Amino acid sequence: MRFRLVVWLLLFVLGLFVGDRYGLPGWARSAADGAFSSVEGWFGRLGEPIPESDAPIADEAAETTGPVETITPPATPASGDLGNAANAGLHMNDAGLQIIKDSESLRLDAYSAGGQWLIGYGHSRTAQAGMTITEAQAEKLLREDVRASEDAVKKMVLVPLNENQFSALVSLAYNMGSGGFSRSTVLAALNQGDYAQAADNFRNHNRGGGQVIAHLTERREKERALFLTPA
């Protein structure tokens, strides 16, 4: 169990230091987000102190009685004290999903990248060699994949959002990863109640390796425009 914790922590640190998903293969992006969600579940909400290393781990006893299930992000905010309750029923709309589609390449036949099989819009969880899907199935997989980003936005945003604001933020969180989104200037301004500054701060997150990346600049403008569109 402790070895598994160390592995997840290393992946969590990867998510923190890499932040944006720029240049990461699909398997690394999924692992970093999974690690972020798992560590958040063990140690509580971001910002709370991490317990001492010799503190008991809640599910450690389960390891002796049977296999431990993989920890996955909950479908809805885990607790009413996380985020803003007004956002609990929001889901990513078609306009937000289209931003992701425009930025991610669609592949209907499984392909290998970064030592991982991928398919559709970079889906990795169920992809395997020889797999073929339809465009409708690719969209279904994408909607499933963005749920973790939806949950991250619901947990971290403390102010009420409309559907377009929420969808723009989910697109940003999907691109940056949960860890990167948690440290974004967009979230910082938004949680201070400054919606206008939050919109402008989308433009701050268009770099990879210290360099401005054209397609990220274009994506941030699309997300900003959607964020500013009345719902």
DSSP string for 183-230 = T-HHHHHHTTT-HHHHHHHGGG--EETTEE-HHHHHHHHHHHHHHHS-
**Which range is least confidently modeled, 13-17, 92-96, 209-213?**
13-17
Give residue 96's domain range: 1-76+86-103+145-231
Distance CA 42, CA 176 (A): 22
Q: Is residue 213 in some structural domain? A: yes
Q: How many domains does the chain have?
A: 1
**Which range is least confidently modeled, 72-76, 114-118, 146-150, 154-158?**
72-76
- Mean of per-residue pLDDT scores for the chain: 77
Q: For residue 223, which of 204, 207, 118 has the smallest C-alpha distance? A: 204
Q: Is residue 134 in some structural domain? A: no
Q: Is residue 42 in some structural domain? A: yes
105: confidence class by pLDDT, cuts 50, 70, 90: confident
Q: Is residue 216 in some structural domain? A: yes
Chain position carrying tokens 């465009």: 135
Q: Is 161 exposed, middle or buried (0-12, 13-18, 19+ CB in 10 A)?
A: buried
Please give the pLDDT value at position 3.
Answer: 53
With a cut of 80, say whether residue 211 has pLDDT above it: yes
- Average pLDDT on 23-35 reads 51
Distance CA 188, CA 150 (A): 17
Q: Is residue 40 in some structural domain? A: yes
Buried b or exposed e, range 59-92, using 16+ CB within 10 angstroms: eeeeeeeeeeeebebeeebbeeebbbeebeebeb
Q: Is residue 52 in some structural domain? A: yes
With a cut of 50, say whether residue 65 has pLDDT above it: no
- Average pLDDT on 45-56 reads 36
**Which range is least confidently modeled, 14-23, 182-191, 207-216?**
14-23
With a cut of 80, say whether residue 164 has pLDDT above it: yes
104 flagged as catalytic? yes
Catalytic residue among 104, 150, 163, 223: 104
Q: Is residue 214 in some structural domain? A: yes
With a cut of 80, say whether residue 178 has pLDDT above it: yes
CATH number (domain holding residue 198): 1.10.530
Q: Is residue 167 in some structural domain? A: yes
Could you give phi then psi for residue 120, rounded to 5 degrees? Answer: 65, -130
Name, in order, each residue with C-beta under 8 angstroms of 98's C-beta and a sequence gap of 6 or more: none
